[in-house]
Amino acid sequence: MAGLKYMSGFGNEFSSEDPRCPGSLPEGQNNPQVCPYGLYAEQLSGSAFTCPRPANKRSWLYRILPSVKHKPFTSVPCGDLTENWNEVEPDPNQLRWLPFTIPKTTEKKVDFVAGLHTLCGAGDAKSRNGIGVHVYTCNTSMVDRCFNNSDGDFLIVPQQGEILITTEFGKMMVEPNEICVIQQGMRFSVDVFGETRGYILEVYGAHFELPDLGPIGANGLANPRDFLCPVAWYEDRKVPTGYTVINKYQGKLFACQQDFSPFNVVAWHGNYTPYKYNLKNFMVINCVAFDHADPSIFTVLTAKSTRPGVAIADFVIFPPRWGVADHTFRPPYYHRNCMSEFMGLIKGHYEAKEEGFQPGGASLHSIMTPHGPDVDCFEKNSTAELKPQRVAEGTMAFMFESSFSMAVTKWGLHTCQKLDKNYYQCWEPLRSHFNPNWKPGKQ
């Protein structure tokens, strides 16, 4: 959408006012007796009041009517959105899904909320500790409806079709190869422009932050200046027929009615905002001598647990880069992990599995489930000439990695009918190369 403006930075103290109402931000205080333009002051807290300053998140919103003005919430059907991790028996197998079906506009109109499907997850929103992985498949915009997640933060990864997200803080256009984060409690509505699909990583009880860089230094990976936050925009719109606010609360959906648009924030300031990021801006670190570095070097954002170095979830990408390692099997190594690895593909072909893993599909390698390159990848790269080459050109795969042992939902295992039952066969042709008569030679 041409003309949208943003402010740059990650976790900054931002301030913004709609240019139609200059001076709408109060000067020198947060809640004056009477706000400019007769607005209401409302604080949105993303952390406890007493959190240390580096972790303290809140914003002040100056709005035409406060969000408390609504009819009571009532329960509504959740569709395929769930927090029930015990619907089906656990499955420790390597799992791969073909691209998830997007409903045809000619068959049924499905908006973003109706098109949410939970694939896997673990933990509990009530105890504020957990994770959910969802896909969205939709074909129509939300009309006089908004969504509010009281349980946690949404990290949204569009795969097909751009999405225009209207929030209380302003508007963001998010295209494939970009991501956005809508933090807990922020109301938003999604416009689409055709058949649309993407992935969502939801975390309870923590917010996403930039990973520590350690010896990398002061710069690198996802640089703070490349994150973009919307600028204030409001509509003073009455909706006599009823505006629906959908609230995800304790894993269930509830809805309430009000007679005005919730996007009535004329001005705001604070450090608790939605934001977006273009993955092409990621400054890639890679090995330049030998061996295949651990994928943690590709971490864009992390939601930390209380254990140092252990994440509730990391968002990791596998971007275009140079491969130059000598004497090295360059693709990802064979692996068993104490973390769960969920992968998706935005575009292109993933280097470890050229076939079968398709854009709009996914895979899950659960805790301690073996995984690694298929037979074609292994054979080709075991004998390849090791000259400098571009890796993942035109491709963007990503991983949601979590310390939680994630359970797959009934929708993921059965209802979606996209589970690739033959996935295990990509490793079946692997053969032994063991030679007991091998002797050390010149390397």
State the chain's mean pLDDT as an integer: 96
Structure tokens that stand for 99 in this block: 């691209």
Per-residue pLDDT tens for 152-169?
999 999 999 999 999 999
Strand order through the sheet with 252-260 = 74-76, 252-260, 238-249, 145-149, 188-192, 163-167, 170-174
Q: What percent of the chain has pLDDT over 90?
A: 95
Q: Where are the domains of the chain?
A: 6-279, 284-421
Q: For residues 210 and 233, give the distance between their C-alpha atoms in angstroms, rounded to a whole number.
A: 27
Residue 93 scores a pLDDT above 60: yes
Q: Does the annotation flag 277 for ligand binding?
A: no
Q: For residues 438 and 443, give the distance between their C-alpha atoms in angstroms, rounded to a whole number.
A: 13
Residue 1 scores a pLDDT above 60: no
Which single residue is written with the structure tokens 């055709």? Answer: 194
Torsion, Cα of 43, 47, 52, 53 (10° steps): -40
Which positions ≥6 away from 363 have C-beta within 8 Å? 94, 95, 96, 97, 342, 343, 357, 423
The pLDDT value recorded for residue 406 is: 97
Confidence of residue 356 (pLDDT cuts 50, 70, 90): confident
Q: Does the annotation flag 365 for ligand binding?
A: no
Residue 225 scores a pLDDT above 80: yes
77, 253 contact by CB (below 8 A): yes
Query: Which residue would you say has higher pLDDT here, 409 or 205?
Result: 409
| SS3 (DSSP) at 14 | strand
The pLDDT value recorded for residue 442 is: 59
Which single residue is written with the structure tokens 């975390």? Answer: 203
Choosing from 70, 117, 292, 433, which is the catalytic residue?
292
Region of 162 on the Ramachandran plot (φ > 0 left; ψ -120 to 50 alpha; else beta):
beta
The pLDDT value recorded for residue 347 is: 96
Per-residue pLDDT tens for 410-437?
999 999 999 999 999 999 999 999 999 9
Confidence of residue 352 (pLDDT cuts 50, 70, 90): low
Q: Which of 59-63, 351-355, 359-363 has the lowest mean pLDDT?
A: 351-355
Residue 70 scores a pLDDT above 70: yes
Q: Does the annotation flag 371 for ligand binding?
A: yes
List Cβ<8 Å contacts ≥24 apart for 291-294: 291/325, 291/328, 292/325, 292/328, 292/329, 292/330, 292/331, 292/332, 292/333
| SS3 (DSSP) at 393 | coil
Confirm whether 6-279 and 284-421 share one CATH topology: yes
The pLDDT value recorded for residue 5 is: 97
The pLDDT value recorded for residue 3 is: 85
Helices (H), 129-179: none
Domain 6-279 indexed as CATH 2.30.130.10: no
Confidence of residue 294 (pLDDT cuts 50, 70, 90): very high
Tell me which CATH code domain 284-421 carries.
Answer: 2.60.120.10
Which positions ≥6 away from 163 have C-beta within 8 Å? 112, 156, 173, 174, 190, 191, 192, 196, 198
Average pLDDT over residues 303-330: 95
Residue 87 scores a pLDDT above 80: yes
Assess whether 292 carries a catalytic annotation.
Answer: yes
| SS3 (DSSP) at 287 | coil
Which positions ≥6 away from 342 have C-beta within 8 Å? 119, 120, 133, 362, 363, 364, 399, 400, 401, 402, 406
Residue 349 scores a pLDDT above 90: no
Q: For residues 247 and 84, give the distance between their C-alpha atoms in angstroms, rounded to a whole number.
A: 18
3-state secondary structure 60-90: EEEECCCCCCCCCCEEECCCECCCCCCCCCC
β pairing state of 252-260 and 163-167: unpaired
Q: For residues 387 and 337, give the distance between their C-alpha atoms in angstroms, rounded to a whole number.
A: 30
Q: For residues 398 and 201, give the distance between their C-alpha atoms in angstroms, rounded to a whole number.
A: 11
Q: For residues 113 and 254, give the distance between their C-alpha atoms in angstroms, rounded to a whole number.
A: 12
| SS3 (DSSP) at 56 | coil
The CB density around residue 225, as the number of other CB atoms within 10 Å, is 11
Q: Does the annotation flag 341 for ligand binding?
A: yes
The pLDDT value recorded for residue 280 is: 98
Paired with 277 in beta bridges are 179, 227
Q: What is the pTM of this model?
A: 0.97
